């Protein structure tokens, strides 16, 4: 049974910004089986969203939907370079809004859970955002701009995610590459903090978001995998799935110890509830452990660790 209905995207032009990033790649993969007219997937090198003139030139392709994934997702860098962060997240989004207004396109905007401080849990569509970092502040400002100018936009507030294999810049990608390095150096232990999150595969996020677009949805949604885990839990799961338990041991350390080395503040625990999707029978998210295992079974990881199998 196919849980993902194909409806409103049929025959439409889809524009993806930030197409080689973690989410952009997932949307390109998920859309490859959709009956759309054409997908225009632009990397940062091909489309700098801060360049208003270049963005507006895309009017020629007449996009019906703009999946706006372009962003600087490095929260640490954003804290150090706030003007750069604002230029990309806020000014770049303003340019995309202008393009959408000119072409009548619907904007899909993937939002970060880092617009919340984690004090009110679970986080739902009605939770008041309270960003702790420059990254979160700019992402929230971009969201407000979209809602002010395009009331039919679709904004999905997503849990922390993994995906993109070699382009995975988040925890799972960084962890697996670090483990490969440690094993090559003969190191057999690695310390990981116990901050709580909801590890969610970008491909699951993209497929579920496409379902919302196919159902002509708009407004705010929360989207996360089923369950929650500490970074330590995820690291242990990665080692198990990759068959490395006899080669490296993951040691748990306090999240507060890790936070001392971070410039961007993050909530110690941030749990989203897919309240609106559940109410509308549109929640297709899976348990995080199942999705992680499927992700780690991809060829990239087999190649990364083949010498240790």
In angstroms, the CA 146 to CA 101 distance is 11
Q: What percent of the chain lies above the pLDDT cut of 70?
A: 97
Instruction: Check whether 122 has a pLDDT greater than 80.
Output: yes
Q: What tokens were used for 212?
A: 């919302």
pLDDT digit string, tens, across residues 282-307: 999 999 999 999 999 999 999 999 98
**Rounded average pLDDT over 26-47:** 96
pLDDT at site 172? 97
Instruction: Check whether 59 has a pLDDT greater than 90.
Output: yes
How many residues are listed for the chain in this entry? 309
Instruction: Check whether 6 has a pLDDT greater than 70.
Output: no
In angstroms, the CA 65 to CA 42 distance is 14
**Rounded average pLDDT over 101-105:** 96
pLDDT at site 1? 34
Instruction: Check whether 4 has a pLDDT greater than 60.
Output: no
Checking DSSP bridges between strand 106-112 and strand 65-68, what pairing results, if any? parallel
DSSP per-residue letters across the chain: ---S---TTTT-EEEEESTTSHHHHHHHHHHTTS--SEEEEE-TTT--TT-HHHHHGGGGG--SEEEE------HHHHHH-HHHHHIIIIIHHHHHHHHHHHHTPEEEEEEEGGGS-SSSSSB-TTSPP---SHHHHHHHHHHHHHHHH-TT-EEEEE--EE--GGG--SHHHHHHHHHHHHHHTT--EEEEE--EE--EEHHHHHHHHHHHHHTT--EEEEE--BS-EEHHHHHHHHHHHTT-TTT-EEEEE-HHHHHTT-SS---SB--B--HHHHHTT-----BHHHHHHHHHTSHHHHHHTGGG-
pLDDT at site 308? 82
**Rounded average pLDDT over 43-47:** 95
Mean pLDDT (the chain, rounded): 94
From the CB of residue 41, how many other CB atoms can be counted at a distance below 10 Å? 21
Instruction: Check whether 275 has a pLDDT greater than 50.
Output: yes
pLDDT at site 259? 64
List domains and CATH numbers for the chain: 13-161+202-225+271-286 (3.40.50.720)
pLDDT at site 256? 77
Q: Which residues make Cβ contacts (< 8 Å) with residue 74, sequence separation at least 6?
A: 135, 169
Instruction: Check whether 210 has a pLDDT greater than 60.
Output: yes
pLDDT digit string, tens, across residues 141-185: 999 999 999 999 999 999 999 999 999 999 999 999 999 999 999
pLDDT digit string, tens, across residues 77-102: 999 999 999 999 999 999 999 999 99
Q: What tokens were used for 299?
A: 């060829």
Contact present, 41 and 52 (Cβ < 8 Å): no
pLDDT at site 309? 72
């Amino acid at each position: 049974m196919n849980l993902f209905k194909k409806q409103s995207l049929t025959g439409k032009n889809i524009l993806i910004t930030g197409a080689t990033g973690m989410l952009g790649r997932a949307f390109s993969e998920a859309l490859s089986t959709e009956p759309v007219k054409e997908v225009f997937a632009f990397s940062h090198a091909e489309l700098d969203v801060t360049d208003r003139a270049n963005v507006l030139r895309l009017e020629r392709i007449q996009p019906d939907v703009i999946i706006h994934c372009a962003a600087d997702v490095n929260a640490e860098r954003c804290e150090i370079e706030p003007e750069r962060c604002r230029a990309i997240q806020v000014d770049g989004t303003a340019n995309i809004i202008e393009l959408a207004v000119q072409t009548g396109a619907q904007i899909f905007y993937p939002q970060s859970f880092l617009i919340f401080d984690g004090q009110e849990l679970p986080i739902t569509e009605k939770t008041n955002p309270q960003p702790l970092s420059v990254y979160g502040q700019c992402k929230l400002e971009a969201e407000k701009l979209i809602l002010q100018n395009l009331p039919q936009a679709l904004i999905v507030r997503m849990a922390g995610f993994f995906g993109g294999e070699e382009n995975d810049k988040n925890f799972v990608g960084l962890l697996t590459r670090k483990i490969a390095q440690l094993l090559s150096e003969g190191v057999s232990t690695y310390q990981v903090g116990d901050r709580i999150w909801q590890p969610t595969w970008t491909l699951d996020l993209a497929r579920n978001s496409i379902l919302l677009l196919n159902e002509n949805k708009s407004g705010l949604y929360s989207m996360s995998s089923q369950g929650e885990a500490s970074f330590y839990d995820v690291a242990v799961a990665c080692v198990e799935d990759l068959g490395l338990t006899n080669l490296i041991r993951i040691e748990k350390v306090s999240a507060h110890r890790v936070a001392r080395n971070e410039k961007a503040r993050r909530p110690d625990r941030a749990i989203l509830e897919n309240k609106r999707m559940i109410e509308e029978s549109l929640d297709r998210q899976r348990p995080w452990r199942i999705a992680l295992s499927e992700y780690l079974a991809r060829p990239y990881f087999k190649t990364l660790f083949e010498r240790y199998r």
